[in-house]
Amino acid sequence: MRAPAILATADEAIAAIPSGATVAVSGFVGAGHAELLTSALERRFLQTGTPNDLTLYYCAGQGDRAERGLNHLAHRGLLKRIVGGHWNLAPKLGALALANEVEAYNLPQGVLSVLTREIAAKRPGLFTQVGLNTFIDPIHSGGMMNARTTEPLVERITLDGQIWLRYKYMPIHVALIRATYADPRGNLSMDREGLISEVLPMAQAAKNHGGIVIAQVESIVDQLPDPKSVRVPGLLVDYIVTSGGQQHDQTFGEFFNEDFVVTSDGTFTLPPMPESERKRIGARALLEVRRGDIVNLGIGLPEAVAMVAAETGRLSEFTLTVESGPTGGVPASGLSFGCSHFPEAIIDQPSQFDFYDGGGLDIGVLGAVEIDAEGSVNVASFAGRFAGVGGFVNIAQCARRLVFCCTFQAKGNAKFVNQIQHVCFHGPSAIARGQQVLYVTDRAVFELTSKGLRLIEITPGLDLQTDILDHMQFTPILGI
């Protein structure tokens, strides 16, 4: 008979993590993040200096741009390597990377998410074309963020006459995961969580590599009534830490919102947006969304598309999805991003990216920081910090149609530039794939062509030369 999971305090469970281990942490922004455990890991390191030299592996970016989430782990000596998808919400980690104090990799969120399953099965890695011709491609930087980072985790290979990327296998020794309830045998359910994340493959990966799984739960119940609700079997769980609701907020934006875990008949409404550049951009982008489309909206400005759709009665015409797993409903915003209001379904994140990577998205509406003459886009770095790509690379490369939304300028600085800092979306590759791509701003709309960026619309009342061309570092093809 297998031994049951050990009931422990956060400090007791964290003490079992050995130095030098690879620690995988699940969650998305704040949803599903084991805040009690990461804060305990920080506390132990500051008190004892151990564990040290850890490798941190995470898929989405868990943090609040300040202290919570993975910011707890941003200490010299605690980490030797970071492999992550999105960095903007954990600026303290980014500061370590930019200061060359840790090895640091930025790989696509969807790749890292699906790679957890390959690691669990001890397969040789993930083979995909996601990331080709971007800064993640080894012909460029291979996703390495600083001079200290030298080991290649991505390689180019040729299979059946096509170029692919292999994201290499790496063992996971510790999984820090979160659920809502555990039963006495350690089985975990996620009834009050707004997403599922990678809890199962992370747990399987740690267990199959002789490691440990530590689960933060809200409470322990006598029995989980439906075995189909179990997201992680107890045989994978080594330690259970009960939070009692402390450091167990549903997201970093809200303690608990029932909208994130129930569905509706589709009659809910959203408050109208005030008139603004944001609303105008959202309204123009919405014109590209067709009846019946399956849609992904990026964080930030693209969220306005859903708001305008609700205001104009169009929400029921298409299905909104989030890369973290929700399908249907309306994506939440801010520090609750990753959840959806009244979703029709919530699946695990690796499965959602399987669907995206296979071409399941009709249209992606995404943000942009910099755009060049060939239509390539940077979202990874800006204003002296590294934000990372998150799910952007998967979505931008695999959706059939794309709309990039941004303001025409950023605090007076050009966004249409001769050379972008990081190629996160490669315009010429999109043309070769046959994608339809628009760039929607508050002043003008551009489309991607085989000859580069073409200006197709300007906002009424603006002057082409003084309001548009004088503020671009290159001259687009003029199509108006």
| Percentage of the residues of the chain whose pLDDT score is greater than 70 | 99
User: Which one-letter DSSP state was computed for residue 192?
Assistant: T
Mean pLDDT of 353-378: 98
Amino acid 180 reads: T
479 has a pLDDT exceeding 90: no
252 has a pLDDT exceeding 90: yes
Q: What per-residue confidence (pLDDT) applies to 385?
A: 82
Mean pLDDT of 209-222: 98
d(CA 62, CA 112) in angstroms, rounded, equals 14
Q: Which of 331, 328, 358, 355 is nearest to 343 (CA)?
A: 328
d(CA 78, CA 200) in angstroms, rounded, equals 26
Delineate the domains of the chain, giving CATH numbers in brackets.
6-242 (3.40.1080.10), 258-478 (3.40.1080.10)
Cα 207 to Cα 84, 96, 201, 238, distances in angstroms: 21, 30, 10, 9
- 357, 393 in Cβ contact below 8 A? no
241 has a pLDDT exceeding 80: yes
d(CA 255, CA 253) in angstroms, rounded, equals 7
Q: What per-residue confidence (pLDDT) applies to 1?
A: 62
Mean pLDDT of 435-442: 98
Q: Catalytic residue numbers?
A: 323
3-state DSSP assignment of residue 452: strand
261-276 pLDDT tens trace: 999 876 667 788 899 9
Two tokens at 49? 């200096």
Q: What per-residue confidence (pLDDT) applies to 157?
A: 97
Q: What per-residue confidence (pLDDT) applies to 347?
A: 98
Q: What per-residue confidence (pLDDT) applies to 288?
A: 98
Q: What per-residue confidence (pLDDT) applies to 265?
A: 75
d(CA 379, CA 372) in angstroms, rounded, equals 12
Per-residue pLDDT band at 412 (split at 50, 70, 90): confident
Q: What per-residue confidence (pLDDT) applies to 117?
A: 98
d(CA 467, CA 459) in angstroms, rounded, equals 10
75-104 pLDDT tens trace: 999 999 999 999 999 999 999 999 999 999
Per-residue pLDDT band at 3 (split at 50, 70, 90): confident
How would you label 440-468 residue by residue, b for 16+ Cβ within 10 Å and e otherwise?
A: bbbbbbbbbbeebbbbbbbeeeeeeeeeb
- 170, 131 in Cβ contact below 8 A? no
- Helices 349-357, 109-120: inter-axial angle, 10-degree rounding: 120
297-318 pLDDT tens trace: 998 899 999 999 999 999 999 9
Q: What per-residue confidence (pLDDT) applies to 413?
A: 87
Q: What per-residue confidence (pLDDT) applies to 266?
A: 67
Q: What per-residue confidence (pLDDT) applies to 74?
A: 98
| Percentage of the residues of the chain whose pLDDT score is greater than 90 | 94
Amino acid 215 reads: A
Q: Which of 3-7, 38-42, 399-403 has the lowest mean pLDDT?
A: 3-7
Q: Which of 72-81, 283-292, 374-383 has the lowest mean pLDDT?
A: 374-383
Cα 417 to Cα 27, 414, 475, distances in angstroms: 35, 6, 10
Cα 473 to Cα 22, 331, 370, 379, 451, distances in angstroms: 44, 35, 11, 18, 17
Q: What per-residue confidence (pLDDT) applies to 267?
A: 67
- What are the phi and psi torsion angles at 105 (to 5°)? -125, 140
Residues 6+ apart with CB under 8 A from 6: 13, 238, 239, 240
What is the chain's mean pLDDT, rounded?
96
Per-residue pLDDT band at 124 (split at 50, 70, 90): very high
Two tokens at 248? 């167990």
